[in-house]
Amino acid sequence: MSHNAVPSHDGGDLTELDRRHLARCVELACEALDAGDEPFGSVLVDAVGSVRFEDRNHVVESGDRTQHPEFAIARWAAEHMTPDERRDAVVYTSGEHCPMCSAAHAWVGLGRIVFASSTDQLVGWLADWGVPGGPVAPYPITEIAPFVPVTGPAPEFADEIKQLHARLHGVNVD
């Protein structure tokens, strides 16, 4: 894949393995929400397809707004993987990386990112529900880390992820 890859907005580049790892990310997002946190989950997979690390959001329980799973993956990878292993790894996530996590991903030298829902989708849902945005501009990965190959969103996960965020914000979207 080219270093200047543009995200696929139809999920057409996803493999069955990608979909399986994204499904796990959605499970982790559900776990986060059930624990009273924001619904985000991520998985780090090495070049041979082994899950090396997974996490979910911990921002509410920790009181630290930087406790995103994608950021935790970047820190873990920097400590436990060689630069070549990081470059060949894939990060799967329920929601597209925020700017902080995109930068951490790029600085650590991780490979491809595959996301189930996009920043644009989340921003749109929140706007439709009258939920104010966060304190950081919602830039897509490609604006922050233009040389990281990305794939997403995956349309088959949109409704489930939208429901998780609706539940977080007490919105009925039936």
pLDDT at position 3? 34
pLDDT at position 87? 98
pLDDT at position 112? 98
Per CATH, the number for 16-168 is 3.40.140.10
pLDDT at position 13? 84
pLDDT at position 138? 96
pLDDT at position 89? 98
Question: What is the pTM assigned to this prediction?
Answer: 0.93
Domain boundaries, the chain: 16-168
pLDDT at position 5? 40
pLDDT at position 11? 54
pLDDT at position 164? 98
Give the 3-state DSSP-derived string for the chain, with helices as H, strands as E and coil as C. Answer: CCCCCCCCCCCCCCCHHHHHHHHHHHHHHHHHHHCCCCCCEEEEECCCCCEEEEEECCHHHHCCCCCCHHHHHHHHHHHHCCHHHHHHCEEEEEECCCHHHHHHHHHHCCCCEEEEECHHHHHHHHHHCCCCCCCCCCCCHHHHCCCCCEECCCHHHHHHHHHHHHHHCCCCCC
pLDDT at position 64? 95
Q: Which parts of the chain have pLDDT scores under 50? A: 1-10
pLDDT at position 173? 86
